[in-house]
């Protein structure tokens, strides 16, 4: 009985002491992280500092995530290519499913997989899709939950305002 109590106490204290990644909020700086590439080489999250960053947290099985991906490609076209980076973070358990989705969707931005839920916890992706807007120094400016139409005028102007960018005029905007 004493051994059982010792084991239970050890398991409980290990669980309590092993604090999971704390969720970051608007106004917090991103923590260091290694990004495991889906069809791209691994990188450090800090490699993206120097210009604003849009992080999309998604999964291949998430229909809302799949729907909004095309709008991110069009969003990038509404700005100068050098203005900001977009990266995707898949929370899929199966990297092959995520890779297949990236290939089939012909995504034109780098995508990574969150194998150990570090980024999912850090970014607070308790609901997906999640879009996180980050300034050039790694400061989280905004977190938007749920599917959006990122290439419509309202969202383009929102991104421009938050990230301090100037979108290109669309012929229908003139």
Residue 92 lies in a domain: yes
Residue 59 maps to which CATH number? Answer: 3.40.30.10
User: How many secondary structure helices (H) and strands (E) does the chain include?
Assistant: 5, 7
Residue 65 lies in a domain: yes
Residue 20 lies in a domain: no
The C-alpha atoms of residue 157 and residue 9 are separated, in whole angstroms, by 54
Per-residue pLDDT of the chain (174 residues; tens, 9 = 90+): 555 444 444 444 333 333 446 899 999 999 999 999 999 999 999 999 999 999 999 999 999 999 999 999 899 888 876 789 999 999 999 999 999 999 999 998 999 999 999 999 999 999 999 999 999 999 999 999 999 999 999 999 999 999 999 887 765 554
The C-alpha atoms of residue 119 and residue 5 are separated, in whole angstroms, by 35
Residue 76 lies in a domain: yes
Residue 7 lies in a domain: no
Residue 59 lies in a domain: yes
Residue 71 lies in a domain: yes
Residue span of the structural domain in which 80 resides: 26-168
CB 90 within 8 A of CB 113: yes
Segment holding 44, helix H or strand E = strand 43-44
- Report the number of distinct structural domains present in the chain: 1
């Amino acid at each position: 009985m004493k051994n059982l109590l010792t084991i239970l106490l050890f398991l409980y204290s290990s669980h309590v002491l092993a604090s999971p990644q704390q969720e970051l909020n608007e106004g917090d700086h991103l923590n260091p992280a290694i990004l495991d590439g889906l069809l791209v080489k691994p990188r450090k999250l800090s490699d993206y500092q120097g210009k604003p960053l849009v992080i999309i947290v998604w999964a291949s099985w998430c229909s809302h995530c799949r729907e909004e991906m095309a709008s991110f490609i069009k969003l990038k076209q509404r700005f100068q290519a050098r203005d900001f980076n977009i990266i995707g973070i898949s929370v899929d358990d199966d990297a092959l499913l995520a890779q297949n989705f990236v290939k089939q969707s012909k995504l034109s931005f780098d995508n990574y997989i969150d194998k150990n839920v570090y980024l999912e916890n850090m970014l607070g992706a308790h609901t997906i899709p999640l879009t996180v807007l980050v300034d050039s120094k790694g400061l989280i400016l905004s977190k938007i939950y749920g599917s959006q139409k990122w290439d419509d005028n309202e969202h383009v102007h929102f991104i421009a305002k938050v990230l301090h960018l100037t979108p290109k005029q669309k012929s229908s905007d003139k």
